[in-house]
């Protein structure tokens, strides 16, 4: 007998668990099939870019990550110094100032997965996961796929005991890695190539007199290149080591250990314990298709693979899951038509191709032969590396025009520092109800709601107050149109008000009812949706309007998708359809 489930997730990596976070929060019937016998114990990925920390913050699970992780704050650059070995040439900030309110951190992938599993269990009371399940085939009934209610995908899997199980689902997510069984079953191919460059990687404990072992560091010596990534805790570090003239199959731990010693000279490095090591050749590949009939979707390493040095693999995979999860939930809850799922492919396939091009550039930048051939100096390398920081931080993704992204010339004049199609950045504001200074993004949790932020200016000005009243009335009508009578008024569309007034002169009754909905079991008016761009008692002034490039005399309206991507409109013009 087959088992029916709305969404079957094949693989419990970053993409699969992030998608499951959405589905569990939205009450969607899902199941994860994982071929391993239990949770990941020691993952190979460890770089957590600040965009990923923002995503964890949106799910309310970032605090433990930030407490446990190593925080990357500074990069040290070292270059060859002739017979003297290597010498430090530069220090630089790891992140461009103001790029995010969250840091770049390092934490083992197993722990990152564990945090998501804990988040799923907290939101739904359990985790729908079957371990020891190897997917064999995935088939889509193309005729039945035209019916949105059909369980048209049949997946066959085998347990560790050899027992075959069949699952019928409306949708399947392929989150099963670079050797994806789902991709192979569908007949999709990975397009790209591998280079001759070979790198080794090792997680080790070392005794050393090298002064920057607890900083992210890039070493260019006359005998090769090495990158240091300090790990969580006080002693564990990761080395990425360039190897020349050797095949991956011939690399041994002794090979890596000896090359590390040569690169670090004149400093001494004694490896006293090893957690893990490996060697790999660099390749960049993208799947030729990302979906089958809009019923099976490829995510993560199942559709894009690249080098690990830019720290993008786990992060981009997780963002794939962040993108598809809320869209599947919206379709299954009949809040959006199935055509919404077209945007997963258009958005994430373009992102994958951009990632591959960036990875080629970044890989070449680390290659000794490439730098010599193109005359790239140590100073050039540092400048290229620092400029690439916005992309490696996960803040370079911009989605193109679609039903979900509506760029316009008007938007650029309304909010000069916001870009339609990119994630909505945060700024400090002060909550009107209790004078709490907080990041505005905290008012936009990942709970499947759309967020409408109204920057109304100084509402102590009668003209702006009247304009706000009109805008709030029209927004209220739109929200009612999409909200059932038995649900909270803000359960689908949430209104957030950000004023540029002296908050101590504003009374609660001056805030329109759209921003103070009556909600919850006890039907109490909510006063937590109004904020002032004003000075706080202990945290200074956030200057949110200035940060976003919004004129407080005009204002604007920012619509933020459930995944924190933005659309911008005039504050006095509320779109009523589309």
**Catalytic (active-site) positions:** 46, 231, 240, 308
Q: How many CB atoms lie within 10 A of CB 387?
A: 10
Q: Which of 308, 285, 112 is nearest to 203 (CA)?
A: 308
Parallel, antiparallel or unpaired: strands 493-499 and 450-457: parallel
Q: Which of 183, 293, 203, 319 is nearest to 256 (CA)?
A: 203
329 SS3 class? helix
Q: Which of 291, 313, 293 is nearest to 304 (CA)?
A: 313
Rounded to 5 degrees, φ, ψ at 371 are -65, -40
281 within 8 A of 248, measured Cβ to Cβ:
yes
Running DSSP on this structure, what letter comes out for residue 471?
H
Distance between CA atoms of 302 and 318, rounded to whole angstroms?
12
Tabulate helix, strand, coil % of the chain (nearest 5).
35, 30, 35
357 SS3 class? helix
Distance between CA atoms of 143 and 120, rounded to whole angstroms?
34
DSSP assignments along 525-536, one per residue: E---SEEE-SB-
Q: Which of 263, 338, 335, 253 is nearest to 293 (CA)?
A: 338
316 within 8 A of 220, measured Cβ to Cβ:
no
266 within 8 A of 85, measured Cβ to Cβ:
yes
């Amino acid at each position: 007998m087959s088992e029916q489930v709305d969404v079957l997730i094949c693989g419990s990596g970053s993409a699969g668990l992030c998608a499951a976070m959405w589905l569990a929060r939205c009450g969607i019937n899902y199941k994860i099939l994982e071929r391993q016998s239990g949770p990941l114990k020691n993952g190979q990925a460890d770089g957590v870019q600040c965009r990923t920390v923002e995503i964890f913050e949106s799910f309310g699970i970032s605090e433990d990550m930030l407490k446990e992780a190593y925080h990357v704050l500074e990069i040290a650059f070292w270059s060859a110094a002739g017979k003297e070995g290597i010498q430090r040439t530069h220090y630089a900030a790891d992140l461009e100032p103001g790029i995010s309110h969250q840091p770049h951190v390092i934490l083992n992938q197993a722990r990152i997965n564990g945090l998501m599993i804990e988040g799923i269990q907290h939101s739904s009371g359990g985790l729908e996961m079957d371990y020891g399940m190897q997917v064999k085939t995935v088939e889509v009934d193309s005729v039945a796929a035209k019916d949105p209610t059909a369980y048209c995908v049949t997946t066959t899997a085998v347990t560790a005991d050899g027992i075959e199980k069949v699952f019928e689902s409306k949708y399947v997510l392929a989150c099963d890695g670079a050797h994806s069984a789902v991709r192979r079953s569908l007949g999709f191919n990975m397009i790209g190539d591998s280079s001759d460059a070979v790198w080794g990687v090792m997680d080790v404990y070392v005794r050393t007199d090298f002064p920057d072992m607890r900083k992210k560091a890039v070493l260019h010596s006359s005998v090769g290149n090495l990158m240091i990534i300090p790990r969580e805790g006080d002693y564990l570090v990761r080395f990425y080591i360039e190897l020349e003239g050797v095949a991956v199959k011939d690399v041994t731990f002794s090979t890596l250990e000896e090359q590390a010693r040569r690169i670090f000279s004149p400093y001494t490095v004694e490896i006293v314990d090893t957690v893990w090591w490996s060697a790999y050749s660099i390749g960049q590949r993208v799947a030729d298709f990302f979906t089958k009939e809009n019923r099976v979707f490829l995510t993560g390493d199942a559709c894009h693979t690249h080098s690990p040095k830019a720290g993008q693999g786990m992060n981009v995979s997780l963002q794939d899951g962040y993108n598809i999860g809320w869209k599947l939930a919206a379709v299954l809850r009949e809040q959006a038509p199935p055509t919404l799922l077209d945007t997963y492919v258009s958005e994430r396939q373009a992102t994958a191709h951009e990632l591959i091009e960036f990875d080629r550039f970044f890989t070449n930048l680390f290659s000794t032969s490439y730098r010599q051939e193109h005359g790239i100096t140590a100073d050039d390398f540092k400048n290229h590396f620092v400029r690439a920081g916005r992309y490696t931080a996960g803040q370079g993704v911009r989605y193109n025009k679609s039903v979900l992204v509506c760029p316009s010339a008007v938007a650029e004049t309304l909010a000069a520092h916001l870009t339609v199609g990119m994630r909505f950045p945060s700024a400090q504001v002060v909550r009107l109800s209790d004078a709490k200074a907080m990041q505005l993004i905290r008012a936009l949790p990942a709970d499947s709601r759309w967020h409408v932020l109204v920057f109304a200016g100084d509402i102590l000005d009668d003209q702006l107050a009247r304009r706000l009243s009109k805008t709030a009335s029209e927004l209220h009508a739109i929200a009612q149109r999409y909200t059932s009578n038995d649900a909270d008024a803000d359960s689908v569309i949430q209104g957030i008000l950000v004023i540029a007034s002296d908050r101590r002169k504003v009374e609660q009754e001056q805030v329109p009812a759209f921003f103070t909905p009556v909600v919850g079991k006890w039907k109490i008016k909510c006063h937590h949706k109004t904020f002032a761009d004003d000075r706080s008692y202990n945290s200074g002034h956030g200057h949110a309007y200035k940060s976003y490039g919004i004129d407080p005399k005009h204002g604007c309206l920012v619509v933020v998708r459930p995944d924190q991507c933005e659309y911008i409109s005039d504050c006095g013009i509320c779109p009523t359809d589309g």
